[in-house]
Structure 1
Amino acid sequence: MEYSLSKISTENHFEIEQLSLKNGGNPNLSEKYINHWYYNNPSKSRSLWKVLVGGIIEGFATTNNFVFQIEHTPVLIAMPQNLLTSIKIRGKGFFEKLYKETEHENIENNKAESFIVFSNELSSPIFLNKLGYVKAKCPPVIFSFFNPLDFFSTPDYKRIYSFDDINNTSVFSFDNAMQKTYAHLQWRYACYSATQLHMIEVKKEGAVTGYAFLKVEKKKGISFLILMDIMTENKDAIHHIIDTCYRYASRNFFAGLVLFDIPGFVPKRTLRCTFNNRFNVLVKSKAQESTIRLSKVPFCFFFGDLDIV
């Protein structure tokens, strides 16, 4: 089978969208999405490759790259996100070929140190058995249920509808986490409508302590909120901001709030469920020793770190 591998150009975006729709890929992978998600990312680092068979695009692989702080050291990490081959060439090794082009470009040109992927059932065996990835620690996922007692509290919050309403643009970032800025958060949530995303300003004793980004999700007719990100310059305010998010969810009649656990920062509630290993988090570095070390890192994730949410 004759084929060629090359970088994705802007002229390919419509074909990529159609290939994804016809082969069970990301339904949101529109031309507009590709332009924004990959080319407007403030990190300005990415890798996008395609495979042509008989002159037709039959597969693609992409990474979006972000700066993480790992054990107090900033490093560029590439995150494989949209990888797809058509039914016509599936099972013929093109997934690995495409991925390896992105890996080579990220290491040699983008100077990425490591890779993190949130993989699904189909791709996990390929990443683990053929591409040198290993399993990492996924923080527990918490679902805090609606609590009618929240109606008897008086949390101080205000829903806002624009980044122009944010007064303090400083962002505290955890260690072993993606490093975020005002520009990053503005880029991340630029494509959400007001019905999809609730941004709230949180106060304590009259002073603004920070902001929370909450995505509306609905499954089996039940609506709930997902804590996507928090924006604050003071890590001591995070506990209070999350507690306010709990109350916001209840007081706006959502079934609950979903978030990643952050030990020491998430208020404990009686009405909640905890799910361990909810996501397949796989990692890889340039050397095997570094890969093993990275797999033991206690990552601090927010749902905004995932492109699938």
Structure 2
Amino acid sequence: MVKNVVDVVFGGLTYWMFGYALSFGPDPGNNPFVGWGEFFVDAGPETMGQKFTTFIFQMSFATTATTIVSGAMAERTKLTSYIVFSLFNTGFLNDLGVVDIAGVGPVHLLGGTTGLVATLLLKPRTGRFCEGQSAPPMGCPTNVMLGMFMLWWGWLGFNCGSTFGIRGGKWKLAARSAVSTIMSSMGGGLSSLSLTFILCKGKFDIADIVNGILGALVSITGMCAIAHPWEAIVIGLLAGLYTTGTTRLVERLRIDDPVGVIPVHLVCGLWGLTATGLFVEQVWNLKYT
């Protein structure tokens, strides 16, 4: 929990000092790979509304990308080392024509990939894969489910907010984002519930169900404002299968991933980017990334 506090404190401070400038800086020297200018964000009366709302919203994405990694590094990282990481983990894809409404690539795929590298470098926790010893039991299933419901609700804010307003027809995109987000999570919940019921021989695994729903939410993030409901369901259904299967593959490969960062964020982040390319139609005004 302290690491998540560190993400907001140090990651947010770094985004204020450098991150916003490298993402949106308009000064000479910016290019399709990096912005330049407006370090240590501030604004005058005319521009403060748009600039500050953009800053606070995008900062939440930057710190989220960092906090994803803390799950993969659980119980094996010094806090001082993690502070250094959160300072440096915090926008060039827009000008390359990439469609990513709410950050499936720069938030989830980046966080999941970093988490995989971190857990491989740190090695498994002591005794994690000893012969005859099963995986440690879930600490508190009730808290896990509570956390899932909080994320489920919060995802609506992330995805709907990524349409950047309600004026000029943007409210329609926000409404579509809400529908596609919910529909995808339903698909992920359905497939993960069904698969874990089969694999666990008539029982349900809470971790599989939670990860299936979260993986579906990750997967729809890239095209939430432009997906049809049936597309969202298909994307979520496959995401639930991917998370459940990848969880077992990670276990077999003896990779210690305590909270499912790899299946949820890396695999479903990659699936979300791929699904966007498969389903997006050219009829939309795709200036959201």
Using structure 2 for the length normalisation, give the TM-score.
0.28
Using structure 1 for the length normalisation, give the TM-score.
0.27
User: Which protein has the larger Cα radius of gyration, Structure 1 or Structure 2?
Assistant: 1
Q: Which has the higher strand share?
A: 1
